[in-house]
Structure formats: structure tokens, C-alpha cells
Structure 1
Amino acid sequence: MAAVLSGGDTGAMEYVSRAPAAPLDRFIDDIYCLTGRPSHRLMRVPPMPSAHLFLHLGGPVRLWDSDLSMAPAVLTDGWFMGMWTRPFFFEYPESVRLVGVHFKPWGMSPFTSMSAAELRDRWAPVDAPWQRSVNRIRERAGDAAPAAATLRMVEEELCSLLAEAPARGLDLVQHTGALLEASHGAVPVGALAHRAGVSGNHLTGMFKAHTGVTPKRMARIYRFARLIVSVDALRPVDWSELAQSAGYFDHAHFSREFKEFTGYTPTEYLALRRRFPTEPQGPQDFGPIPDE
């Protein structure tokens, strides 16, 4: 899939994505390439149900946490990013050439020795095996390889680094996580554990090991993601109706969680989206919004 993402007259970026074939499709939603000059360099990203691998083939990217006690980072090659439970920020370079991998929440562990718990609300430079992969991709892609060819290279590297045997508990997390995904977080954790034939404590421990978060936290993020992708900023928004359809039955709870995940009230968020409209086709996780 290819789409041109623009936000005014000052720049545009092309987004090309590729859904991987088996066996990678168990762990990865899509691989994408983002190139061009961004209209808005500073972006705020709310929590979304995915982990990421980024390979930057252009200039350095600056990232920082909404927890201002954490030092910002400047990353130039490749980095892993786990599940986030609060917003973070990144700043594009003036010219972007970025390859990203959208892992399913449980999908990163077969590809890196870094733990999901270690990467929760964090980013980290790629480990040694992936640094070799980044170098190979840089050499093969050069400065002007087509996006589709670059994505095929990344898929080949992912296949070569996929662990042959799943880690303990990964099949359980994949199965129950898929139920959360399909229900947009509506299945109670107790029901998940009962259907899987394990205790709630065991399920929670496996989720922390393979996603970095508890199943309850993941359910919250899936519910929020369902709501945020339903917002059409070009039309009147009935927040109460959207919140109820996403599974929020207490408006005060919805408002608190929205502020926790975005840093904005729903009204503030909608005003920002209307100032900086997003193209209807774009990255699967949809969440990044321009920050002022």
C-alpha cells in the first residue's frame, strides 16, 4: 500500500507498507517505509497496541518521554521500542527516510534478546545481530533504492533472525492477545485466563514477559485505539457515543483515560486534529499527532 501523507504546502511524505508472509505474519502487522519532507517535525504519540523496530536511513531522530525526568535520546541507526503506556514525543529530521516494523504487542520477543519488560515505555539501540542487519540494509539500499525493494530486504532480515523455537508462554500470549485484539479489549482478563485454562496470575506473568504490560493494561490500550481511530475530525464528534461504542461506560473515566493517554482533553485533541488534518490513509497505528 502506498499513500502520500501531507499536512499543508510545506512538505509531503510517501508511506509504503507491506504485510509480511508466514511465518512473520504471526508476529508483525506490517513493514513500512516513510520518505520525504515532513510538514510537521514534532509529533506526539499516544499509547498504541504495538511494539516497533525502526531503521533510520536518513538523518538522526530525537525522542523524549512525556516523563520529563527521562533524558531525551538522539538515535541515528536502528532502535527497538516496546509497548508504551503514556505519550512520548519524536522529532523528524528535515528529510526522512525511515523503515519501520509494526510488531504485534507480543511479536518482538522472537527477534531480539532484549526483554519486553526492559523496553516498556523505553527505546533502545538495536542489539549486535540487528546492527549487522542495519549495516547490510544500508549497503544494499544505498541512497535511492525503491521503497518496495527496501521492504523486501527488511523482510528477509526478519526471517533470518526469527527464533526457531517460541519462548515459553509466547503461544499463550499470542492466543489470548489475539482475543483482546479481536474484541478491542472487551474480554475480561478472568475470562481470558479461564478460556486458556490457566490462572490469572500465570497469564499476567506471561503477558509481562512477552509484551511488557499486563493483559488489563493491554485491554485498555486496545479500547483506546478503537476510539481514537473512530474520530473523524472533519465532522461533528459525539464523544459520549464514541466512548460508549468503544466500551467506556463511565464518561468521567473515559475523560481521565483520554487525558492520560494523549495529554489532551477530547476537546483539545479535536481542535488540534482540525488544525493539522491527517490524510485518510496512513500508518496503521494512526496515533501520531502534530505537537505544538
Structure 2
Amino acid sequence: MDYVGRVPAPPLDRFVDDVYCLTGVPRHRAMTVPPMPSAHLFVNLGGPVRLWDSDPSVPPAVLTDGWFMGVWTRRFRFEYPTPVRLVGVHFKPWGISPFTDVPASELRDRWVPVDDVWRRAVDRIRNQVGELGSGPAALQVLEDELRSRLADAPARGLDLVRHTGGQLAACHGAVPVGALTEAAGVSVNHLAAQFKSHVGVTPKRVARIYRFARLILSVDGPRPVDWPAFAHAVGYFDQAHLANEFKDFTGLTPTEYLALRQRFPAEQGFPPIPAE
């Protein structure tokens, strides 16, 4: 598949990592996605996308038009159509907050149709993008939509969350939450409440996801891994802590994941795992 993305112009770059087009035939149709430090908007221009939650009590979904996803705290599985044609937005963990009135907690671990968040918007966006193909002009449609919906003034607590979230991103979740609250001059409870409001999860959970993202994007290749040394390098207490996190977030042991990646190398910076 071809992935074409770009960082949007300010001030959108404070909330969005990139807008992108994804087109072509997928190398693997079924993929498992571990928790990543981002939220998403997808506008589908191709066939239906199928999604399964790792929580067996949640029914699978078939999505045809467009959907939002908040921050996920557990893995999910999706199946691409063939061929793929979609445009999307990778938001920073707090990034959806200034573009919608829907509480972040209602988007956490969920896929929600675009029209449930932006009323009567998905057909208009799909029609505009569909007429332009998958080039820079299509990405500009998404940028223009985001810019038109960006709140004039930040909601209460968003600047605090953006600042402390940026610190977590910069150190891959390695800074203690207590140090963040002390530097910001707020209580642990206050910071947690603001994160729940704008991200949907606590800063401790965000730190955990950033740490795992660093781990899974680093362990990807044919070379042997010194797991105890690696666990320490990326901020885990020990190898057992790393192994538990790996199993929880991917459904695989570190050894199983490495064997799978040796058979099916990942594209650079692309965390989904082929689902056999």
C-alpha cells in the first residue's frame, strides 16, 4: 500500500500528527493494532472495513463511510478491503478535544460514525475527497475541515493537558506523573481529571501507552534481542514487566512477536501486526 501523509500547518499541528491517504493493495488484510498514543479519524472511499474488539463482549463492526476512534487502551483487529482507499487523521492523544463536543471518555476504546460526532459531514467530505483522488488536494480537504471546526479558545484544562502530554511524548512515557504535577503546580487528582476530560484516560495510562509504543516500534527486525537489557532501556522494571505488558497489549509474548516480525517485516513506523 502507499501511505502519503503530511503534518498540517499551525495551529493544527498542536493537535494533529498527520493527515494522510492510504491506497493500494494491503500486504496483509487482517491486522492487530496494539494501543498507540493517538486518536483517529478515517474517511473510507473503498469497500467495507471490518473491526473486532479484543473484548469479546463488544460486537464486531462493519464500517463503510467514516468513523472516529478515541485513544485505545487495548488491542483491536481490523480487516482491510481490497483495494484500500481512505484518508485519515492521526490526532495526538488530546487532539480530538478541540474539534468536537463529544467527551473524550465516550470515544475511548470505541469506533464511532463520523456523523455521530460531526453531524451530516461524512457524505460532504467523501464527495469532496472522491473528486480529488488521493493527492495533496485531498489532504487539504481534511485540513480545511479541521481548521473550520477548531475551537476559537481552548477548553478549560486543555493547555495543561497538551503541555504535560507533550512532555510524556518527548520522554516516551518515562517521566513520573508526580514530576509532571509538581512542575505544573497542580495536584495529581486535578491532572488526572483534566486528562480524562480531554484524552479519555489518566496521564499514567498515557505514559504506559507511550512507553509501549517506543518498545514495539524499536523491536522490529531479524536481529536477536537482549530482552532484559531492552526492558531496562525502554523503562520497564524488568523482563517480566515487559512480557506482561506485551501479552496484554498484543496477545503475543515478546518471542512470538519477534518471530512473527521476522516472517512479516513491518513498514517503518507502522505498528499493526499481521493477524494469522
What secondary structure is seen at the aligned counterpart in 2 of 1:174?
helix
Give the corresponding residue for 2:173.
185
Q: Distance in 1 between matches of 2:118 and 2:35?
A: 25
Give the corresponding residue for 1:206.
194
The answer to whether the 8 A contact 2:5-2:19 is kept is yes
Give the corresponding residue for 2:85.
97
Q: How does 1:42-53 map to 2 (within 5 A)?
A: 42-53=30-41
What secondary structure is seen at the aligned counterpart in 1 of 2:118?
helix
Distance 1:245-1:129 versus aligned 2 partners, 3 A rule: closer
Q: Which amino acid aligns with 2:216?
A: I
Question: How far apart are residue 145 of structure 1 and its match?
Answer: 1.6
The answer to whether the 8 A contact 1:112-1:127 is kept is no
Q: How does 1:1-292 map to 2 (within 5 A)?
A: 13-127=1-115, 130=118, 132-142=120-130, 145-280=133-268, 284=269, 286-292=270-276
The answer to whether the 8 A contact 1:113-1:127 is kept is no
Q: Distance in 1 between matches of 2:90 and 2:43?
A: 12
What secondary structure is seen at the aligned counterpart in 2 of 1:90?
strand
Deviations 1:8-28 (A, max 9, x none): xxxxx1100011010100100
| Residues 239-248 or 13-22, more deviating | 239-248
- Provide the TM-score with structure 1 as the length reference: 0.91
Count of matched residue positions in the alignment of Structure 1 and Structure 2: 276
The answer to whether the 8 A contact 2:46-2:83 is kept is yes
**Any unmatched runs of 5+ in structure 1?**
1-12
Deviations 1:38-73 (A, max 9, x none): 121111000000011111111111111001111011
Q: Distance in 2 between matches of 1:219 and 1:98?
A: 30
Q: Which amino acid aligns with 2:203?
A: P
RMSD between superposed Cα atoms in Å: 1.4
Q: Which amino acid aligns with 1:199?
A: S
